[in-house]
Structure formats: C-alpha cells, structure tokens
Amino acid sequence: MLLIACAPPAAPAPAAPAEEKAPAEEMSWWAKAAEPYKGVTIKGISESTPPSKYMQQVLAPAFEKETGIKVEFEVTSWDQMYDKEIKDMESGTGIYDFVYIEQDIIYAYLARDFLVDLTNFMDEHPELVYADLDLDDFTSFIDYFKDDQGHIYGLPFEAFLKVYLYRKDLFGDPEVQAAFKEKYGWDLRPATNFDEYAQIAEFFTEWGQEKGLELWGTTVQAGSHPAAFYEMAETIWPSWGVYNWGINMETWKATTANGGSLDSDKAKAALGFWVGMLKYAPPEATSSTWDEVAATFAAGRAAQGWVYGENAAWIATDETRSKVVGNVGVALPPTAPGVMEEAEAGKGYIGYYDGGALGIPHSSKNKEAAWLFLQWVSRKDFQGDFAAAAARIVRKSTFDDPKVKELDPKVDGYFTLMKEKGYLFAGAPPFPFHAQIREVILPYVLKAISGEMTPEDALDAAAQDVDAELIQLGYGQ
Amino acid sequence: MRSNRTAWGLLAPTLLVLGFAGLLPFFYVVYVGFFDWNVFSKTGDLVWAGANNYRRLVFDTEFLAALKRGIVFTLWTVTLEMVLGMALAQLLMREFKGKSFFRAVHALPLTVAPIAVGATWRLMTIPGLGPLPYYLRRIGIDYNIGRYAGQAFATTVLMDVWHWTPFVTLTLLAGLTALPREPFEQAMVDGANRWQILRHLTLPMLRPVILTALFLRIMDALRIVDEVWMLTGGGPGTATRYVGIHVWRVVFPKTDYGYGSAMSVLLLYFTIVLCWLLLTAITQARRETD
C-alpha cells in the first residue's frame, strides 16, 4: 500500500492536447515559424513534478510533431536540476536551451544575468511571437518573472498554493465528531488557528493508536533536506506573522536588535509549534520532503497537513495512487491572530504561492526554437488539459475552462480557492542570495527538529549567522 | 642521453594529462582558497582574503563539528572493515564447499555505485516502507534514522562496512596468496599456533598490503558524501553531516567558493598528515618489535 503511495508521482495521464481542435491556420503558424529550425534539437531541464512530466510526455512530443524541432526534456530531482542548470549557465556551456526558473530563485539568476530578456527578444523577433500569446491573460504570478523595468524573463507554466488538506471522511464521521467534542468541547472542523490544529493533530494520533490504524494527526515536511527549511520559511512563519524569512529588507538584518524578526518571539513560537507537531506526525515525517508528504497524505496516513497544491488533484482524484480519493478537503491554512487581517490588507501573507516558469539562458545556442517551445506550453487551448492533469494554473482564462470547472468540485474547490484567495499567498521574497541564506538557516532548523538545539537557541544563533552572512555577501554593511 | 630523451618523450603525454587532470585543479583550489568568492554576493567579485578563510576555519564550530564527526565515522568504519576484511581473507585462504560462490557474493557490493548503495539502504530504512524498521519493530525496537541520531550514525557505519569490506578482503586476499609458503610451513613444524603465526608472520609480511588498504579506506571514509547523502541527507539534524557533506553544501548550494576551497585544502592536508602519522607510528612500532 505505502509502496504505491511512496512511489514518485507517475506521469499524468497523457491526455492529448487540444491541437486537433485548433484551427488549421493556427497549426500552420507553428510549422511556418519553426521552418528555419526544423531538425534542430533543443534541450531543457526541469524538476520532476506533475506539470514538468506533463510537458515532457504530452506537450513536447506534440511540439515535435507539429514543428519538426526535437525536444530533449530532462526531468530530474530538485537539487540536481539547480546544480545542473546553474553550472551550465555559470560556465556558459550551452547545454540547456530552456531551464526551469522557480519563482524563488529568479532574483539570483537576474543578478547574475543568466537569462534572456524575453521582452527584448519579442521586439527583436516579432515573426516568432504567436498571435494568441496574450501576456495579459497570465495571472499576476507572471509579475514574479519580471525585472524592475517590467521586462519578462520567463513564461510561467506552473503555479499553485500550499494549502491545508484534511480528511473529509474522518472529519465528517459522527463517531469521531462526538469523541472530539467530548474531549475538546468544540465541533470538529478544519483548523483556523494553531491551537485548533494542535488539538486535531493530537486527537487523530490518539484515535489511530486506539483503533489500531496507521493514522496520525498531521504531516510535517521535516526531512534532512532544504524542504524542511521551506516549510518553515514559506508556510509556517508567514502564517505566524513572520514574513520574508524574518529578514528586514531595509537594514538587511535578521536579528530583532537590528530590525529583523528571525529571533523574535513569534518566530520561535512558530518553530516550537512546528517541531512539536512531530509527535503527531507519522514516523516518515523526519525523512519527508514535499513529495513524501504528498505520498503520506495520499496513503491515508495523516488526518490533516500542509500539502503543495500541485499534488492536490492527483491525491483527490487518482485512485491508482491515492487511497483518499473523494475524501480530500481543501482549505486555507491556519493562521495566528491578526495574520489573516494583515494578508487581507496586503501587509502580509498566509502561505506560499509557489510555481515556476521556463526561461532561456544566454548560453543557449537555439534561442529561437526554445522560445517557440515556451510559447507552445503556454498555449491557451492546452491549459484546460494541463490544469486537469497537474493542478496548476497560470492563465486567468484557465479558471473558466470547462475541464477545470468539472474538476474543481472533485478537488473540493481547490481551483476556486486559488482564484479567489490566491492573493492571500505570496511567492518568496526577492532575495538574490536565496540559496546562500537558506543554507545558513537550514542547519538550525534541522537541529531544532532533531532536538540538538531548542527552537529558541536555534533561532538566536541562526539570526546572528544571517546578519554576518549578509555582510559577507555585501548587504547591510 | 638519447635514451633519457626518449623516455621523457614517452612519458610526456602521461605527465601532460596528470598535470591537467591532477595538478591544475589542485593549484586552482589552493588559489581560490585565498579569496572571498561567492558568485551570488552583491558584486560576485573575487576579493583577496589572504589567510582569512583559514583563520575562519579554526573558529568555525560547524566545520569543526563536521570534521570530528567524519573522524569518528572513519575510525569506526575503517577499524571494522580492516578486522572483518582480514578475517574473511583468512577464511577464503582455506578450502570449503561453496567458496567460489561466497567470494562472488561477497564482492557484489563493490560493483554497486555509491549513490545506488545509498538509495538502496534508504529504501530499506524508510519507516512504514522499509523492511528494517518493520522487522526491528516486531522485536520491540523503534528504529527511525530520521529521528534518532545514534541509529542514523550506526546505519551509515553499517552501510559503509557492507559496501567496502569486500575491497579490504580482496586486497588482503591477493596479498596473502602472494606470500611465500615456506616460512609458514616452517613455523608450523616448529609448533607455532595460529595466533603466533598471524602475529609474527602474516601481519608483518602483509604490512605493505595492509597499509595500502588502510590508507585507501581512511581517505575514502573521510571524504564520503554520496552514500550518506542519499541515506540520511546528513541528518537527523546534523548528526551525519560528515565533513565531505559539509564542504559540498558550502561549495555548491551556498556557492561560497573561496571558503569551500579552503575547507577542501585543509581536509586534504589533514588526511595526508593523518596517514603520515599512522605510517610513522606503525613503522616505529615495527622497529621497536624488531
């Protein structure tokens, strides 16, 4: 059972893109535009996620058939992807013609001038701009891929929220409800704050033990991996009111003494809460990254948890990989007092708006062919199938696609939540030193998880080290 | 004179390859170690730092802790591998039924890539999925290397011993096979027991081979990355973040090339010194015994 659930996400069902429905003249534009590049091979790299696999297995072959441009689409682990693409762009070897740009790393890429300015590129090659590209139709998520002047460096292909998933079958079970009410004195429902979350986690862990079930109260993404840092920095801290990793972006300092908030009481309480949830999480939690957390929830081993939205659709609908089909509830994550109000007012955010785009490195030797592919995967008429297969939406018009509307109730309104409440979430802060500071904080988060340090000591030390590292990197002298 | 020239001419391609593949990268690492260089800093420039990176290292508690962990790991793995390897090599010197099969099976781990070894052990140890936690739980042991530091450390040692003991066995076996038979036969005629033969004949005569295996294993164990990375990711916490993993995280995800280079150079120096000290101690002990 768990073997199936822990398997890497299988490729989405290869639903054919709607190319056969497209008008003949539209198809001929692709063939005509690609004529000078026919026979060329473009190579790209992306993370092994459902959206990337859909592009690799469905959209890329269709592109090859239509244009005669061969696509070698490498899909690999998150760490490998960064390692490979950064080395390629750094050394200018030109192995990759298009690369995955995660929203959080683009600021580092821009600082290093790794990427082709697509706005300029479109001006220089108007004959290669698809008439229905319609940049205005992209959701505001495309803004994360622009520089100060509004020039675009990547076309988004995936965007999703890290949401709160819960088991509707368990939450709706009258026996469970009665037992819960008796113990805690309030009606069981999805948690809206952290006290509620902790009580629900405790209840279901004990319930699982009493009933002899492989069931725990929560997921925790706490493997010895950067994923642990990301759950803290992008999901837990913001929902406690600690934004931008606790770094003051005016003073470039993390310590409260210097205007930051990484060692603030709120940040410490948040880390303490999250680490405390480990006792209600399944044993694999301390080995789990994002993929394993999704697999744990899909295997029915957790009653609630924070799960990346790209997994929501398959967990809720794919019976070959999920044991909780039809029982997945989707809601906003719990927040500390005042945080929701701050997010509503645009002064904060309650969680992570994650996603990525495809961009073209300067070192690419086939920029024109790569640009055609970028537009191909962004085609409006492909987006319904793409969203249905991989639960990602990057265009406004996709929300109204019949396939998305049909799927939405099956994923408990995830797409509606994304459309209506997406503004409460935010991407990563615009740090060119993203990976560098992550590597400073990560060991302390891991030490708090393992109990090597208390959350308080860990964050006191982390904040000091971040201040020192930022000076070393040339910020906040 | 002519023969010298011919010899150098024949050696030239090899020296050229060695220079490019071995010396050039080494000197480049030494050079970078004297600079502050993080490509994602505000300027991304290479800034002369003199010995500052080395000074930082002396006070870097994370690096020193990782180095200490690496040394403890090395002590455990190399000791176990040498003892087990010697025992198995002695065993394989005898004739017994199924010896060829045992030797082939024993050597199998050597054919597996380190990254695959790490992945396999990870699958075996994942709670809720792997056979090890399952069977250990049945006998009352809560085994979770993502949660318990001691278990994680022991598992990395066990994995390394499983992977590399065959190397020691086969190396020592080759050495044992090459030893002359006469001294052993004479010792047996003189009534020496097994322990006396091992102590006074086998070990001294096998010394060069033992030292070769020992030094190779020390060097490999000190710089281990991939297997442990796959198995534990350096955790839980930083419990298995050995020095190789620490250097990797500083050089690649953190892109702190200058500091990472200084770490690498210091690690190399440390390894050389450790091997030299060991060699000196063994040689000294040998002289005193003689």
Total Cβ atoms within 10 A of residue A422: 17
The answer on pLDDT for A69 being more than 50 is yes
The torsion angles phi and psi of A93, rounded to 5 degrees, stand at: -75, -25
Which pLDDT does position A27 carry in this prediction? 56
pLDDT, one tens digit per residue, over A101-132 is 999 899 999 988 999 999 999 999 999 999 99
Question: How far apart are alpha carbons A84 and B155 in whole angstroms?
Answer: 30
On chain B, the residues whose CB falls within 8 A of the CB of A435 are 40, 253-255
Buried b (16+ CB within 10 A) or exposed e, A368-387: bbbbbbbbbbbbbbbbbbbb
Beta bridge partners of A45: A74, A99
Report the chain B residue with the minimal C-alpha distance to residue A107: B40
pLDDT, one tens digit per residue, over B7-62 is 999 999 999 999 998 899 999 999 999 999 998 888 888 999 999 999 999 999 99
Residue A325: pLDDT band (50, 70, 90) is very high
* A282 with B232: Cβ contact below 8 A: no
Nearest CB to B129: which of A6, A108, A435?
A: A6
Total Cβ atoms within 10 A of residue A70: 15
* A223 with B235: Cβ contact below 8 A: yes
Q: For residues A400 and A28, which has the higher predicted lDDT (pLDDT)? A: A400
Beta bridge partners of A355: A159
Q: Please, are residues A393 and A353 in contact by the beta-carbon 8 Å criterion?
A: no
Question: How far apart are alpha carbons B191 and A378 in whole angstroms?
Answer: 85
Continuous H helices in B139-256 = 149-178, 182-189, 194-197, 203-205, 207-222, 226-232, 243-251
> Which residues, including other chains, have CB under 8 Å from residue B288's CB and lie 6 or more apart?
none
Question: How far apart are alpha carbons A194 and B23 in whole angstroms?
Answer: 57
Q: Please, are residues A302 and A236 in contact by the beta-carbon 8 Å criterion?
A: no
Q: Which two tokens stand for residue B234?
A: 């350096």
Answer whether A256 touches B (CB < 8 Å).
Answer: no
Within 245-274 of B, beta carbons closer than 8 Å to A belong to 249-250, 252-256
Return the percentage of chain A with pLDDT > 90, whole number: 88
Return the SS3 of A42: strand
Which pLDDT does position B243 carry in this prediction? 96
On chain B, the residues whose CB falls within 8 A of the CB of A111 are 40, 44
Report the chain A residue with the minimal C-alpha distance to residue B149: A450
pLDDT, one tens digit per residue, over A9-38 is 444 444 445 444 445 455 579 999 999 999
* A2 with B39: Cβ contact below 8 A: no
Which pLDDT does position B290 carry in this prediction? 64
Please provide the DSSP assignment of A369-406 as one string: HHHHHHHHHT-GGGHHHHHHHH----BGGGGG-HHHHH
Which pLDDT does position B44 carry in this prediction? 84
The answer on pLDDT for A8 being more than 50 is no
The answer on pLDDT for B97 being more than 60 is yes
The answer on pLDDT for A78 being more than 90 is no
Report the chain A residue with the minimal C-alpha distance to residue B62: A443
Question: How far apart are alpha carbons B116 and B120 in whole angstroms?
Answer: 6
Of B241, B221, B223, B222, the closest CA to residue B231 belongs to B241
Which pLDDT does position B66 carry in this prediction? 96
Alpha carbon of B192: minimum distance to chain A alpha carbons (Å): 53
On chain A, the residues whose CB falls within 8 A of the CB of B64 are none
Question: How far apart are alpha carbons A233 and A456 in whole angstroms?
Answer: 16
pLDDT, one tens digit per residue, over A195-246 is 999 999 999 999 999 999 999 999 999 999 999 999 999 999 999 999 999 9
Which pLDDT does position B2 carry in this prediction? 61
Nearest CB to A223: which of B62, B233, B256?
A: B233
| Average pLDDT of span A128-144 | 95
On chain A, the residues whose CB falls within 8 A of the CB of B235 are 223-224, 286, 446, 449-450
A165 backbone φψ class: left, alpha, beta (φ>0; ψ -120 to 50): beta
* A436 with B129: Cβ contact below 8 A: no
The answer on pLDDT for A470 being more than 90 is yes
Answer whether A283 touches B (CB < 8 Å).
Answer: yes
Answer whether A105 touches B (CB < 8 Å).
Answer: no
On chain B, the residues whose CB falls within 8 A of the CB of A447 are 237-238
| Average pLDDT of span A415-432 | 94
On chain A, the residues whose CB falls within 8 A of the CB of B249 are 439
- Round the average pLDDT of chain A to a whole number and report it: 93
Answer whether B22 touches A (CB < 8 Å).
Answer: no
Question: How far apart are alpha carbons B176 and B36 in whole angstroms?
Answer: 50
Alpha carbon of A344: minimum distance to chain B alpha carbons (Å): 34
pLDDT, one tens digit per residue, over B146-195 is 999 999 999 999 999 999 999 999 999 999 999 999 999 999 999 999 89
* A436 with B126: Cβ contact below 8 A: no
Nearest CB to B255: which of A223, A436, A474?
A: A436
Which pLDDT does position B231 carry in this prediction? 96
Answer whether A113 touches B (CB < 8 Å).
Answer: no
Which pLDDT does position B289 carry in this prediction? 65
Answer whether B129 touches A (CB < 8 Å).
Answer: yes
* A436 with B241: Cβ contact below 8 A: no
The answer on pLDDT for A285 being more than 50 is yes
Q: Please report the ipTM that was assigned to this predicted complex.
A: 0.88
Nearest CB to B39: which of A112, A278, A472?
A: A112
In degrees to the nearest 10, what's the CA dihedral of A446, A450, A452, A457?
60
Which pLDDT does position A390 carry in this prediction? 87
B141 backbone φψ class: left, alpha, beta (φ>0; ψ -120 to 50): beta
Answer whether B48 touches A (CB < 8 Å).
Answer: no
Classify the C-alpha dihedral A455-A456-A461-A466 as positive or negative. positive
Q: Please, are residues A15 and A51 in contact by the beta-carbon 8 Å criterion?
A: no
pLDDT, one tens digit per residue, over A367-376 is 999 999 999 9
Within 142-161 of B, beta carbons closer than 8 Å to A belong to 144-147, 149
The torsion angles phi and psi of A183, rounded to 5 degrees, stand at: -80, -40
**How far is Cα of residue B229 from the mean position of the Cα atoms in its chain?**
15
Which pLDDT does position A313 carry in this prediction? 84
Return the SS3 of A305: strand
- Count of alpha carbons within 13 angstroms of residue A327, beta-carbon side: 20
Which pLDDT does position A4 carry in this prediction? 37
The answer on pLDDT for A363 being more than 80 is yes
Amino acid at A99: V
Query: How many A×B Cβ pairs under 8 Å?
Result: 110
Amino acid at A454: T
Of A302, A296, A305, A285, the closest CA to residue A223 belongs to A285
* B238 with A447: Cβ contact below 8 A: yes
- Round the average pLDDT of chain B to a whole number and report it: 92
The answer on pLDDT for A463 being more than 60 is yes
User: What beta strand segments (E) does A140-262 contain?
Assistant: 155-167
Which pLDDT does position A12 carry in this prediction? 44
Answer whether B38 touches A (CB < 8 Å).
Answer: yes
